[in-house]
Amino acid sequence: MFKTDSNPPNRRDFLKMASAASAAAVSNLPQAAFAAEQDVDPASGYVDAHSHIWTRSVDEYPLAEGQTVDDLQPPSFTAEELLETARPHGVTRVVLIQHKTYHGVDNSYITDTIAKYPGVFSGVACIEAEADHPDQEMSRLKKLGIRGFRIRPGEGGTDRWAESDGMNTMWAYAADTGLAICPLIDAEYIPQVSEMCEMYPETTVVVDHFARIGIDGEMREPDLKALAALASHENVHVKISAYYALGKKRPPYSDLIPMIRRMYDAYGAERLMWASDCPYQLTADNTYGDSVELVTERIDFLSAEETDWVMRKTADKVYFS
């Protein structure tokens, strides 16, 4: 499904290549209106540490860059559709990741969802790192339930985050307030993460999707070594996620188990967190259950307590505490 040449796809390619199949999968969800299950304790189940949502209610939540509902792929993936997908697999809480492609830095759909379902959702926002006072926006969003901020290479107005006033402000403010910085990177940018961790050792960091190692089908030793080495910074965590996009890109994902073991050996279960990356996990030949079961049923080196950390407690510590 993804390119297999030596140049990994960029973020826009990463999303577009999964969209058609996930649209078909979402269209097969139950059409009955979602009803919140009042007898479910959100803290009792697994935590999905990474999912996107969006809605066709574009009058209330406008799309970025002149996009229309015709650009949404899948056409709808609301909070309710997400919960319908996740709950049958024991997932009762989700960390919502701002979908910058569709909503830019308007985080209102995820903050409104957090307010609508207390205790069920947390959030990771996107903001303008090059703004004069990004810490003020971080403070505002923290009051609305946001617990992390996603960053990408080049954001902050400079090629290197360490040279960006705004990015330095974000990392410092996150350290002071217990918020997380969540880099979406390819492996080549791991040194920039390490550089910032040296400058701000108290900042909680969560690296998305194994730093996308394996997006072109190969898990290269230098990349794995670099990501494992980040564990020397004690506040760095890694999401073991986006299985549909890595390696062979199809269940049962056995080819990804050695990479997970490598991260487990480096970080321990207490700094790894499972995530689906829905709705993109719902692509052809992949399901939500496939993603859950890789950790809960197919990995044999985690104890029951360690599985609980990967599936619940690590994300709870970072995003719900």
In a domain, 4, yes or no: no
Q: How many CA atoms lie within 13 A of 298 on its CB side?
A: 17
Is residue 298 domain-resident?
A: yes
pLDDT attached to residue 22 = 52
Distance CA(289)–CA(281), nearest Å, equals 10
Domain of residue 135 covers 11-28+42-320
33 lies in some domain? no
Residue 37 falls inside a structural domain: no
Structure tokens given for 157: 């107005």
User: Is residue 36 situated within a structural domain?
Assistant: no
Is residue 112 within 8 Å of 142, Cβ to Cβ? no
Strand, helix or coil at 244?
helix
Burial label for 48, CB within 10 Å (0-12, 13-18, 19+), is: buried
Do the domain assignments include residue 117? yes
Phi–psi pair at 123, nearest 5 degrees: -150, 150
User: What contacts 281, CB < 8 A, 6 or more positions away?
Assistant: 22, 242, 243, 244, 287, 288, 290, 291
pLDDT of residue 40: 76
Residue 300 falls inside a structural domain? yes
Cβ–Cβ under 8 Å, residues 148 and 124: yes
* Maximal CA-CA distance, the chain: 51
Residue 74's alpha-carbon distances to 54, 57, 61, 114, 242, in angstroms, are 9, 14, 16, 22, 17
Of residues 67, 69, 77, 108, the one with CA closest to residue 276:
77
Residue 288 covered by a domain: yes
Task: Count Cα atoms within 13 angstroms, Cβ side, for 160.
Answer: 7
Per-residue pLDDT of the chain (321 residues; tens, 9 = 90+): 233 233 444 444 545 555 544 554 554 444 333 444 546 789 889 999 999 999 999 999 999 999 999 999 999 999 999 999 999 999 999 999 999 999 999 999 999 999 999 999 999 999 999 999 999 999 999 999 999 999 999 999 999 999 999 999 999 999 999 999 999 999 999 999 999 999 999 999 999 999 999 999 999 999 999 999 999 999 999 999 999 999 999 999 999 999 999 999 999 999 999 999 999 999 999 999 999 999 999 999 999 999 999 999 999 999 999
Q: The domain that contains 165 carries what CATH number? A: 3.20.20.140
**Structural domains counted in the chain:** 1
Q: What is the distance of C-alpha 113 from the center of its chain?
A: 17
Residue 94 to residue 47: CA distance in whole angstroms: 5
